[in-house]
Amino acid sequence: MTSKFLKSFLATAVLSAISVWAQSTSASAPAPSAPNAPSASTSTAVTGSTGTRVGTINIEQAVIGTNEGQRDFQALQKKLEPKQNELKSQNDELESLQKQLQTQGDKLNEDARATLVKQIETKKKSFDRSVQDAQEDAQNQQKEIFQRILQKMAPVIIKHAQETGYAMIVDTSNPWPQSPILWYGDGGDITKAVVDLYNAQSGVAAPPAPGAVNKPITPKSSAPKSTAPKPTAPSQ
Protein backbone atom coordinates (compact mmCIF):
# COMPACT_ATOMS: atom_id res chain seq x y z
CA MET A 1 0.00 0.00 0.00
CA THR A 2 2.94 2.36 0.31
CA SER A 3 2.45 5.06 -2.33
CA LYS A 4 4.87 7.79 -3.28
CA PHE A 5 2.01 10.17 -4.00
CA LEU A 6 1.45 10.57 -0.25
CA LYS A 7 4.82 12.25 0.07
CA SER A 8 4.01 15.05 -2.35
CA PHE A 9 0.44 15.26 -1.05
CA LEU A 10 1.40 15.75 2.60
CA ALA A 11 2.80 19.28 2.49
CA THR A 12 -0.28 20.88 0.95
CA ALA A 13 -2.69 18.60 2.81
CA VAL A 14 -1.32 19.46 6.25
CA LEU A 15 -1.35 23.19 5.59
CA SER A 16 -4.83 23.02 4.10
CA ALA A 17 -6.31 20.96 6.92
CA ILE A 18 -4.94 23.13 9.72
CA SER A 19 -5.66 26.46 8.02
CA VAL A 20 -9.22 25.43 7.13
CA TRP A 21 -9.85 24.34 10.70
CA ALA A 22 -8.41 27.57 12.11
CA GLN A 23 -10.47 29.69 9.73
CA SER A 24 -13.67 27.82 10.49
CA THR A 25 -13.00 28.12 14.21
CA SER A 26 -12.40 31.83 13.87
CA ALA A 27 -15.51 32.35 11.75
CA SER A 28 -17.75 30.43 14.09
CA ALA A 29 -16.43 32.02 17.28
CA PRO A 30 -18.82 34.60 18.81
CA ALA A 31 -17.65 38.19 18.82
CA PRO A 32 -16.84 39.61 22.28
CA SER A 33 -19.68 41.58 23.83
CA ALA A 34 -17.37 44.38 24.91
CA PRO A 35 -13.85 45.52 23.95
CA ASN A 36 -12.55 44.78 27.44
CA ALA A 37 -14.10 41.32 27.64
CA PRO A 38 -12.56 39.09 24.93
CA SER A 39 -13.38 35.40 24.76
CA ALA A 40 -10.47 33.41 26.15
CA SER A 41 -11.48 30.20 24.39
CA THR A 42 -11.66 31.94 21.02
CA SER A 43 -8.23 33.53 21.27
CA THR A 44 -6.44 30.39 22.40
CA ALA A 45 -8.14 28.19 19.82
CA VAL A 46 -6.92 30.26 16.89
CA THR A 47 -3.92 32.31 17.91
CA GLY A 48 -1.91 29.44 19.35
CA SER A 49 0.11 28.75 22.44
CA THR A 50 2.41 30.79 24.62
CA GLY A 51 4.85 27.86 24.73
CA THR A 52 8.41 28.05 23.51
CA ARG A 53 9.21 24.45 22.50
CA VAL A 54 9.33 23.14 18.94
CA GLY A 55 7.75 19.73 18.46
CA THR A 56 7.64 17.26 15.60
CA ILE A 57 4.99 14.97 14.16
CA ASN A 58 5.08 12.47 11.33
CA ILE A 59 1.72 13.26 9.78
CA GLU A 60 1.82 10.23 7.49
CA GLN A 61 2.44 7.85 10.38
CA ALA A 62 -0.11 9.65 12.53
CA VAL A 63 -2.97 9.48 10.02
CA ILE A 64 -2.34 5.90 8.95
CA GLY A 65 -1.48 4.83 12.48
CA THR A 66 -4.93 5.69 13.79
CA ASN A 67 -7.50 2.94 14.21
CA GLU A 68 -9.67 4.72 11.65
CA GLY A 69 -6.81 5.01 9.18
CA GLN A 70 -5.81 1.37 9.48
CA ARG A 71 -9.41 0.27 9.11
CA ASP A 72 -10.14 2.42 6.08
CA PHE A 73 -6.87 1.75 4.23
CA GLN A 74 -7.23 -1.99 4.79
CA ALA A 75 -10.80 -1.82 3.49
CA LEU A 76 -9.64 0.12 0.44
CA GLN A 77 -6.92 -2.41 -0.32
CA LYS A 78 -9.48 -5.19 -0.10
CA LYS A 79 -11.75 -3.25 -2.43
CA LEU A 80 -8.97 -2.82 -4.98
CA GLU A 81 -7.88 -6.47 -5.00
CA PRO A 82 -10.19 -7.55 -7.88
CA LYS A 83 -8.75 -4.82 -10.11
CA GLN A 84 -5.21 -5.75 -9.12
CA ASN A 85 -5.91 -9.39 -9.98
CA GLU A 86 -7.37 -8.32 -13.33
CA LEU A 87 -4.27 -6.29 -14.13
CA LYS A 88 -2.05 -9.20 -13.16
CA SER A 89 -3.91 -11.46 -15.56
CA GLN A 90 -3.51 -8.92 -18.36
CA ASN A 91 0.18 -8.58 -17.60
CA ASP A 92 0.67 -12.36 -17.56
CA GLU A 93 -1.05 -12.64 -20.94
CA LEU A 94 1.10 -9.87 -22.38
CA GLU A 95 4.30 -11.45 -21.09
CA SER A 96 3.26 -14.79 -22.56
CA LEU A 97 2.79 -13.24 -25.99
CA GLN A 98 6.12 -11.42 -25.75
CA LYS A 99 7.84 -14.65 -24.80
CA GLN A 100 6.16 -16.37 -27.74
CA LEU A 101 7.52 -13.70 -30.08
CA GLN A 102 11.01 -14.06 -28.67
CA THR A 103 11.10 -17.85 -28.90
CA GLN A 104 9.09 -18.45 -32.08
CA GLY A 105 9.37 -15.19 -34.00
CA ASP A 106 12.05 -16.42 -36.38
CA LYS A 107 9.99 -19.53 -37.16
CA LEU A 108 6.81 -17.67 -38.09
CA ASN A 109 6.04 -16.50 -41.60
CA GLU A 110 5.88 -12.78 -42.24
CA ASP A 111 2.11 -12.46 -41.89
CA ALA A 112 1.92 -14.53 -38.68
CA ARG A 113 4.76 -12.58 -37.11
CA ALA A 114 3.19 -9.25 -38.06
CA THR A 115 -0.14 -10.38 -36.58
CA LEU A 116 1.54 -11.38 -33.31
CA VAL A 117 3.45 -8.11 -33.10
CA LYS A 118 0.25 -6.13 -33.69
CA GLN A 119 -1.55 -8.17 -31.03
CA ILE A 120 1.20 -7.42 -28.51
CA GLU A 121 1.16 -3.71 -29.29
CA THR A 122 -2.64 -3.52 -28.95
CA LYS A 123 -2.68 -5.41 -25.66
CA LYS A 124 0.19 -3.36 -24.27
CA LYS A 125 -1.58 -0.08 -25.03
CA SER A 126 -4.75 -1.40 -23.40
CA PHE A 127 -2.80 -2.64 -20.39
CA ASP A 128 -0.95 0.66 -19.95
CA ARG A 129 -4.22 2.59 -20.03
CA SER A 130 -5.77 0.22 -17.50
CA VAL A 131 -2.80 0.57 -15.16
CA GLN A 132 -2.91 4.37 -15.37
CA ASP A 133 -6.66 4.46 -14.72
CA ALA A 134 -6.31 2.05 -11.79
CA GLN A 135 -3.48 4.07 -10.26
CA GLU A 136 -5.41 7.33 -10.54
CA ASP A 137 -8.51 5.74 -9.02
CA ALA A 138 -6.54 4.24 -6.13
CA GLN A 139 -4.71 7.50 -5.48
CA ASN A 140 -7.93 9.52 -5.48
CA GLN A 141 -9.53 7.15 -2.98
CA GLN A 142 -6.43 7.14 -0.76
CA LYS A 143 -6.32 10.94 -0.87
CA GLU A 144 -9.96 11.10 0.18
CA ILE A 145 -9.31 8.89 3.21
CA PHE A 146 -6.14 10.73 4.14
CA GLN A 147 -7.67 14.19 3.81
CA ARG A 148 -10.81 13.22 5.72
CA ILE A 149 -8.84 11.92 8.70
CA LEU A 150 -6.35 14.79 8.58
CA GLN A 151 -9.15 17.37 8.68
CA LYS A 152 -10.36 15.82 11.95
CA MET A 153 -6.83 15.39 13.30
CA ALA A 154 -5.77 19.03 12.80
CA PRO A 155 -7.61 20.40 15.86
CA VAL A 156 -6.31 17.48 17.95
CA ILE A 157 -2.73 18.42 17.02
CA ILE A 158 -3.27 22.09 17.77
CA LYS A 159 -5.02 21.46 21.08
CA HIS A 160 -2.34 19.04 22.26
CA ALA A 161 0.43 21.46 21.23
CA GLN A 162 -1.19 24.33 23.10
CA GLU A 163 -1.76 22.30 26.24
CA THR A 164 1.80 20.95 26.34
CA GLY A 165 3.68 24.20 25.75
CA TYR A 166 4.68 23.94 22.10
CA ALA A 167 5.05 27.09 20.04
CA MET A 168 5.50 25.22 16.77
CA ILE A 169 4.91 21.73 15.38
CA VAL A 170 6.77 20.66 12.22
CA ASP A 171 6.00 17.69 9.97
CA THR A 172 8.78 15.10 9.59
CA SER A 173 7.04 12.82 7.08
CA ASN A 174 9.63 13.61 4.41
CA PRO A 175 13.36 13.13 5.08
CA TRP A 176 15.96 15.78 4.37
CA PRO A 177 16.64 17.11 1.71
CA GLN A 178 13.04 16.69 0.49
CA SER A 179 12.11 18.45 3.73
CA PRO A 180 13.83 21.58 5.10
CA ILE A 181 14.28 19.80 8.45
CA LEU A 182 17.91 18.72 8.59
CA TRP A 183 17.82 16.95 11.94
CA TYR A 184 15.45 16.32 14.83
CA GLY A 185 15.57 14.29 18.01
CA ASP A 186 13.05 11.97 19.61
CA GLY A 187 12.17 14.10 22.61
CA GLY A 188 9.72 16.46 20.96
CA ASP A 189 7.87 13.97 18.79
CA ILE A 190 4.11 14.01 19.46
CA THR A 191 3.04 11.46 16.84
CA LYS A 192 2.04 8.71 19.27
CA ALA A 193 0.35 11.13 21.64
CA VAL A 194 -1.76 12.56 18.82
CA VAL A 195 -2.69 9.08 17.56
CA ASP A 196 -3.78 8.05 21.07
CA LEU A 197 -5.83 11.23 21.52
CA TYR A 198 -7.43 10.83 18.09
CA ASN A 199 -8.32 7.18 18.75
CA ALA A 200 -9.91 8.10 22.07
CA GLN A 201 -11.91 10.90 20.45
CA SER A 202 -13.00 8.92 17.38
CA GLY A 203 -14.14 5.86 19.31
CA VAL A 204 -13.06 3.60 16.43
CA ALA A 205 -11.83 0.23 17.68
CA ALA A 206 -8.50 -1.13 16.53
CA PRO A 207 -8.96 -3.32 13.44
CA PRO A 208 -7.66 -6.90 13.32
CA ALA A 209 -3.95 -7.12 12.68
CA PRO A 210 -3.40 -7.25 8.91
CA GLY A 211 -1.38 -9.95 7.22
CA ALA A 212 1.99 -9.42 5.60
CA VAL A 213 0.43 -8.22 2.34
CA ASN A 214 -2.02 -5.84 3.96
CA LYS A 215 0.35 -4.04 6.31
CA PRO A 216 -0.55 -0.35 6.66
CA ILE A 217 1.93 2.28 5.56
CA THR A 218 4.46 2.66 8.35
CA PRO A 219 7.49 4.46 6.98
CA LYS A 220 10.71 3.78 8.84
CA SER A 221 11.43 6.54 11.31
CA SER A 222 14.35 8.65 10.23
CA ALA A 223 14.88 10.26 13.61
CA PRO A 224 18.46 9.60 14.81
CA LYS A 225 18.91 7.85 18.13
CA SER A 226 22.14 9.54 19.13
CA THR A 227 22.38 12.98 20.67
CA ALA A 228 24.88 14.19 18.07
CA PRO A 229 23.17 16.10 15.25
CA LYS A 230 23.22 14.42 11.85
CA PRO A 231 21.03 14.43 8.73
CA THR A 232 17.94 12.22 8.75
CA ALA A 233 18.36 9.03 6.80
CA PRO A 234 16.37 8.70 3.55
CA SER A 235 13.31 6.49 3.88
CA GLN A 236 13.70 2.95 2.60
pLDDT digits (tens, 9 = 90+) for 74-130: 999 999 999 999 999 999 999 999 999 999 888 889 999 999 999 999 999 999 999
**Per-residue pLDDT tens over the stretch 164-206:** 999 999 999 998 888 888 888 888 999 999 999 999 999 999 9
Lowest mean pLDDT among 25-39, 62-76, 112-126, 158-172: 25-39
pLDDT (mean) for 60-74: 96
Where do the domains of the chain lie? 5-202
DSSP 213: T
Q: Count the Cβ atoms, other than its own, within 10 Å of residue 202.
A: 16
Q: Where on the phi/psi map is residue 27: left (φ > 0), alpha (ψ -120 to 50), or beta?
A: alpha
Is 21 buried (19+), middle (13-18) or exposed (0-12) by CB count in 10 A? Answer: buried
DSSP 189: B
